[in-house]
Chain A
C-alpha cells in the first residue's frame, strides 16, 4: 500500500532554529508500523532522519512520538490504523520536551522529574534478617504502575505541561504511586508532603490525555487521583484541591446536585479566617469575575434547592462511609 509520511523535522546544525515538514512517498506492507515506515525512510530515503528506537516491541520505550497529533509508540501503531483519508500519516517529535533533532527529544527534563520523587524503595526501621516480605495482593496491585516503560507518551500529551513546565507530570506521579502503594516503602509521609505542594498531584486537570495515550495501561491519571485521596485520608487537607474534593462531596450529599457558589466558598475556605487569608488574593480576583457574571445575570441561584429523594442520596453516602 502507498502512504505519505509527513514528518516534522528539525536540524539545528543545518537549518538553524527553523523546523520544517518533509513528505516521503512510501510503498509499505499492510502490517507495517509507523516505526517500520520511518526506518524505511532512514534506510532508503534519507539517512539523516534522526529517531530513537531499539526493541520494536513496546518494551524499551524509545520511540514515543506524536502520530497525527496524538502521542504513542511508533512501534505499536500500525499504519493502517492511523492513515488518514488522503493517505497521509503525520509524525512529529514528542511534545512538552525540547527537540534535539527531528524525532529525537531531550529526555533530561523527564528523568529529572522522575528522580525528584525518589524512585526507589526507602525503609526506616532496621533491615530484616532475610528479606522483606510483601503480601502477594499488594504486589499484584502494583502490576500496572510497575508496567511503565518510561516512554514519555503521557508527558508528551499532558495538557498541564503544555502551559506549565514546572508540573511534575504524569510519569513521575505514576512512579511515585508505585512506591506509595508498595508495602515495603516507609516514606509515605514524606512523599505525600512533597506531592501535596504546587507542581504536585493537585495541578492535574483530570483531562485523561495520559490515560488515553499510555501504551501500557498504567493510567497515570488514575494513579494521581489515588494519591490525592491517600493524601486527604492521611489528614493533609491544607490545599484548595483537598477542600475542593471534600467540599464537592459534602454539597452533593446535602443537595443531590452541585452548588457552584458553595463549592467556591468551601474551596477557598472563606469561612475559616486563616485559610481565607491565605487565599485573599484569589478571593479578590474573584470579585471582577462575580461582578461581570452579575451584570450578565449569570450568577447561580442564591438558594440551591435539594433534589427529590435527596434522603436516599444521603443514605448512599452514609452506607459508603463518605
Chain B
C-alpha cells in the first residue's frame, strides 16, 4: 500500500521519536510512504478560530498535492486527522459545490486545483480498515501478554462525528482497543479515553490543563494500567511531558508511561525500545522494557 504521508509538525518537533518510529513500522508492514514535503500545517483548529476559510484553503492545498499523486493521505496525529477531515467535508459538501470553487481560486497561483477526491486516514484507521487486524497481527513477532494498556484517542479523532464517517466505519470508535488486543495486551477501559488531554490550553490555563493530565493518568493507574497508548502526539506531549507537574499539582504519585501508537505496533513487530525511541520519553518506560524481555514470541 502506498500513501501520501502527512507527518504533521509535532512528529518532527516536540515528539521527535514519533517520526522515525512511524517510518520504521511502515517499512516493515509494507506501507510505502511518499511524504508530502510541501504541505503546510492543518491549522490545528487554531487558525480556524480566526478564519475557517483560511484553514480550508491551506488544507485543500495539501489535499490537491495528494490528489496529484493519486494517493490517500496518511496522518499520524488525531488533531491533524480531525481538522483535515472537517475541512474535507466542507470542501466536498454536495450541497455547496461553490465553496470548493471559491477555495480553488486561492490555489490557482501555485497551479493547484483540488477536485475533492482525496481520502484522509490516520494510521490507526489504515491498520484496522485497510490492513485488517488479522493481517497486522500476522506481522507480529512478539506477544505483549503481560501489558495492561489504556487507550487514549485524542479529541479530534472522535469528535465531531459528522466529519469522521463512523456510520460507514463503525470499527473506528474501537480501533485503538482492537490494536491493543491485537498485540496481545489487555485493554484497560476507562471513560476518560475520549476526553481532552488538556494540551490546547497548556499555555493559557496551565492549572486546568495539568489537572486533566492528572485526572486521566491517575485514573488508569488506579485501574492497573502499565501504560497508555495514544494516536495523538499532542496528547503525548501533555500526558508525558507534564506528568511531573501533574504529580506535583495533584499530590498523587503518578507514574504512567505514554506510548505513541506506532511505538506499540513497533514493539510487537520486534523492534527494540531504542528503535522506537522510548528512551526519549519524559516518563520512564522501563516497565515496558521489562515486560518485553519477559514477552513471548508469537
Interface residues of A (CB under 8 A from B): 69, 159-160, 162-164, 167, 198, 202-209, 211-212, 225, 228-229, 232, 239-241, 244-246, 248-249, 252, 256-260, 263-264, 267-268, 282, 285, 288-289, 292-293, 296-301, 307-309, 312-313, 315-317, 319-320, 322
| Binary contact track B10-42/A, C-beta < 8 Å → 1, others 0 | 101111110000000000000000000111110
A316–B155 CA distance with the chains assembled, in angstroms: 28
Say if the beta carbon of B298 comes within 8 Å of chain A: no
The minimal Cβ–Cβ distance linking B87 to chain A, given in whole angstroms, is 14
Q: Which 8 A-B pairs have the closest CB atoms?
A: A163-B211, A207-B196, A300-B13, A208-B159, A159-B196, A308-B38, A258-B9, A312-B110
**Residues of chain A contacted by B38 (CB below 8 angstroms):** 256, 307-309
The minimal Cβ–Cβ distance linking B158 to chain A, given in whole angstroms, is 8
Contact between chains at B280 and A163 (CB < 8 Å): no
- What 17 additional pairs, Cβ within 8 angstroms, besides A205-B200, A212-B160, A285-B206? A162-B195, A163-B198, A202-B204, A204-B201, A206-B155, A209-B195, A209-B196, A239-B204, A258-B10, A258-B13, A258-B41, A259-B13, A268-B203, A298-B15, A308-B38, A312-B61, A312-B109
**Residues of chain A contacted by B40 (CB below 8 angstroms):** 252, 256-257, 307, 313
A197–B47 CA distance with the chains assembled, in angstroms: 21
Say if the beta carbon of B106 comes within 8 Å of chain A: yes
Contact between chains at A229 and B204 (CB < 8 Å): no
**Residues of chain B contacted by A288 (CB below 8 angstroms):** 244
Say if the beta carbon of B51 comes within 8 Å of chain A: yes
Can you name the residue of chain B whose Cβ is closest to the Cβ of A263? B203
Contact between chains at B204 and A240 (CB < 8 Å): yes
The minimal Cβ–Cβ distance linking A210 to chain B, given in whole angstroms, is 10
**Residues of chain B contacted by A296 (CB below 8 angstroms):** 279-282
A307 with B37, Cβ < 8 A, contacts A164-B208, A207-B196, A248-B47 known = yes
A308 with B37, Cβ < 8 A, contacts A159-B195, A267-B203 known = yes
Say if the beta carbon of B241 comes within 8 Å of chain A: yes
A264–B54 CA distance with the chains assembled, in angstroms: 22
A187–B282 CA distance with the chains assembled, in angstroms: 48
**Residues of chain B contacted by A312 (CB below 8 angstroms):** 61, 109-110
| Binary contact track B194-236/A, C-beta < 8 Å → 1, others 0 | 0110101101111111011001000000000000000000000
**Residues of chain B contacted by A244 (CB below 8 angstroms):** 46, 203-204
**Residues of chain A contacted by B201 (CB below 8 angstroms):** 160, 202-205
Can you name the residue of chain B whose Cβ is closest to the Cβ of A66? B191
A167–B212 CA distance with the chains assembled, in angstroms: 14
Say if the beta carbon of B72 comes within 8 Å of chain A: no
**Residues of chain A contacted by B15 (CB below 8 angstroms):** 298
A322 with B54, Cβ < 8 A, contacts A289-B242, A309-B38 known = yes
21 contacts between A and B (CB under 8 A): A202-B204, A205-B196, A205-B201, A205-B212, A207-B196, A228-B49, A249-B46, A257-B41, A258-B13, A268-B203, A296-B281, A296-B282, A298-B17, A298-B282, A300-B14, A307-B37, A307-B38, A308-B38, A313-B58, A316-B58, A316-B106
Contact between chains at A298 and B280 (CB < 8 Å): yes
Say if the beta carbon of B270 comes within 8 Å of chain A: no
Say if the beta carbon of B53 comes within 8 Å of chain A: yes
**Cβ contact of A248, chosen from B44, B205, B211, cutoff 8 A:** B44
**Residues of chain A contacted by B160 (CB below 8 angstroms):** 208, 211-212
Can you name the residue of chain A whose Cβ is closest to the Cβ of B7? A257
The minimal Cβ–Cβ distance linking A81 to chain B, given in whole angstroms, is 11
**Residues of chain B contacted by A198 (CB below 8 angstroms):** 205
Q: Give the residue among A159, A232, A319 with the most B Cβ atoms within 10 A.
A: A159
A288–B57 CA distance with the chains assembled, in angstroms: 38
Contact between chains at B282 and A292 (CB < 8 Å): yes
Contact between chains at B46 and A208 (CB < 8 Å): no
Q: Give the residue among B13, B15, B200, B245 with the most A Cβ atoms within 10 A.
A: B13
The minimal Cβ–Cβ distance linking A141 to chain B, given in whole angstroms, is 15
**Cβ contact of B41, chosen from A252, A301, A309, cutoff 8 A:** A252
A229–B50 CA distance with the chains assembled, in angstroms: 5
Contact between chains at B14 and A298 (CB < 8 Å): yes
**Residues of chain B contacted by A232 (CB below 8 angstroms):** 50
Contact between chains at B110 and A225 (CB < 8 Å): no
**Residues of chain A contacted by B43 (CB below 8 angstroms):** 252
A300–B160 CA distance with the chains assembled, in angstroms: 30
A229 with B49, Cβ < 8 A, contacts A258-B41, A322-B54 known = yes
**Cβ contact of A319, chosen from B45, B47, B106, cutoff 8 A:** B106
